[in-house]
Amino acid sequence: MFMGQYTHNLDTKGRVIVPNAFRAELGEKVVVAKWLDGCLALYTKEQWEKMYEQLTTLPSTMRESRIYVRTMMASALECDFDKQGRILLSQPLIKAANIEKSCIFVGVGDHIELWSEEEWNKFTSETGDMFEAVAEKLTEFIR
């Protein structure tokens, strides 16, 4: 299970160190894809295969499904770790998450989100006061 928050910097070649706390559970390779709310998602190979299986169940006759599947699959990138524990992000992924230098890794259970520091700060300032109200609305789903 991925949890916690860590800050690292993107270097000029597009590489970023994945936090030690996450690397052991990720395995030898990680899949990075565009995700919701302006961030990227990092998945283990096994988690990505589960995501792919879910994508294949979406009705291909619905335009929304095609948009979602195309975006997820086109943005997905399998990354190897180098000796320093870094992954190389593609320019389209860096641009999609608006990452310039400082970025935040956020463990969210079954995957990791990668945010630009600016976008993460914006997200947390906009949603920080909503936690209790959201929790109350979701109570019926949490048992």
Q: State the CB neighbour count (10 A cutoff) for residue 97.
A: 24
Taking alpha carbons only, the member of 38, 46, 42 closest to residue 106 is 42
Query: Rounded to whole angstroms, how far apart are CA atoms 138 and 141?
Result: 5
pLDDT for the residue numbered 140 = 84
| Domain topology for 2-117 | Chemotaxis protein chec (3.40.1550)
Helix, strand, coil percentages (3-state) for the chain, rounded to 5, are: 45, 30, 25
Residue 9 structure tokens: 């910097």
Taking alpha carbons only, the member of 79, 95, 86 closest to residue 45 is 79
Q: Are strands 86-88 and 112-116 parallel, antiparallel or unpaired?
A: unpaired
pLDDT for the residue numbered 67 = 96
Q: Tell me the pLDDT of the chain (143 aa) as tens digits.
A: 999 999 999 999 999 999 999 998 999 899 999 999 999 999 999 999 999 999 999 999 999 999 999 999 999 999 999 999 999 999 999 999 999 999 999 999 999 999 999 999 999 999 988 989 988 888 888 76
Query: Rounded to whole angstroms, how far apart are CA atoms 37 and 26?
Result: 23
